[in-house]
Structure 1
Amino acid sequence: MASTASSHALTLLFVSYCILSMASLSFSCPTYACEKELNLRVYLHQVVTGQPNNNEDTMVRSPNALSFGSIAIHDWPLLDAPAPNGAVIAHAKGMHAQSDIKGSAGWFTYHSIVFEDARFTGSTLLAMGMTPPNGQWGIVAGTGEFANAHGIIKHTLVNETFNVEIYRQLDIHAFYTPETVNLSTE
């Protein structure tokens, strides 16, 4: 009888070991422990619709004086300096819509920041939020190196030329789980 109980205990132990060995590595590396932090300052360069070398275009133009209801697409370069000859780090590709009837909160902006620099090529951060002169966007997701990203982007207007050409400083603060961290044993 004792050897049968020992045999069952050993079998249970062996089966438990097999189940645990097939389980996610998250037991040994919970997501929060594997997360990395990104702190990056870049400069968004916006050239509005109708200007030479524009990097946005209005798709729906509102007759409203405050542009309420207007929708534009954009492909804004993110540079290492607030100057047209700055090195391109990434592009913010997306849309913005004037969704504030009073016009005071700016435009609702959502885009995928697609990195082009050597370290993060092809990785993306997905961000959205209102765009007054100074504010924040939420980072809601990411891909590639920035898988499972979350955080904020503080944006500050640093230079504006007659509402035609605009530079915004973007301070990106994100947490992410690099794709090199394998959370499963597939």
Structure 2
Amino acid sequence: MASYAITPVQSELKMTLYNKEVYAGPDINGLRTTTGIQTMGTTWVFSWPVTDGPGPSAKIVGHLQGAGVQVANTPNYVWHYSLGLVFRDKRFNGSTLQISGTSQINGEWSIVGGTGELTMARGTVKRTEISYTGNTGISELKIHVFYTPMDHTAVSGNTAYSRRYDDFYAVL
């Protein structure tokens, strides 16, 4: 028998994190997989480390993993991104945010979903490049997200707000 539980709780989270993009050398974490015509269509895949600060002593809290495709032949480098922010820190370990959007280097992405502690996430990530030296860029990520924490331990309808799936068909 299937069951459900009503969970009306929604949480809000604001945090500032940083990502490091390295496009050449021994620490490379982004790779061009295709080159388009006049750069449009150029595709990159990457696994950028995400840290709690911009400096070398910052702690890695996760990785932005995904792909970016250049979608405009302009000098402003407009990209469409499909990303998963996979957390590995103590609080959100194993949780993810699914991020998507079209933006320039300094722009905003949409948070369109999440898993684990961040289930049913929605919100925005404002990305601002704070440094670019040689082949390495560091960006600030201002994350504002609403999510619904799920009780992943509940497997049956034993709460006062639970009802079996079959109960709904009994009234039809």
Normalising by structure 2, report the TM-score.
0.82
1:44 aligns with 2:19: yes
In the TM superposition, 1:20-99 aligns within 5 A as: 24-26=4-6, 29-30=7-8, 34-48=9-23, 50-64=24-38, 67-99=39-71
Using the alignment, how far apart are the partners of 1:87 and 1:76 within structure 2?
A: 13
CA-based RMSD of the aligned residues comes to 2.2
Q: Which structure shows the bigger proportion of residues in strand conformation?
A: 2
User: How far 1:89 sits from its partner (Å)?
Assistant: 0.7
User: How far 1:116 sits from its partner (Å)?
Assistant: 0.4
Using the alignment, how far apart are the partners of 1:139 and 1:116 within structure 2?
A: 18
Counterpart of 1:37, as a letter, is E
Q: Which structure shows the bigger proportion of residues in helix conformation?
A: 1
Structure 2 residue corresponding to 1:114, chosen from 80, 83, 86: 86
The structure with more radius of gyration: 1
Paired residue secondary structure (2:117): helix
Counterpart of 1:177, as a letter, is T
Q: Say how many residue pairs are matched.
A: 156
User: How far 1:63 sits from its partner (Å)?
Assistant: 4.8
Using the alignment, how far apart are the partners of 1:118 and 1:176 within structure 2?
A: 18
Counterpart of 1:145, as a letter, is E
Question: Counterpart of 1:167?
Answer: 138
Paired residue secondary structure (1:86): coil
**Cα distance, 1:135–1:145 mapped onto 2, change above 3 Å:** same
Structure 1 residue runs of 5 or longer lacking an equivalent are: 1-21
In the TM superposition, 1:130-145 aligns within 5 A as: 130-145=102-117
Counterpart of 1:92, as a letter, is L
Paired residue secondary structure (1:142): strand
Give me the identity figure in percent. 32
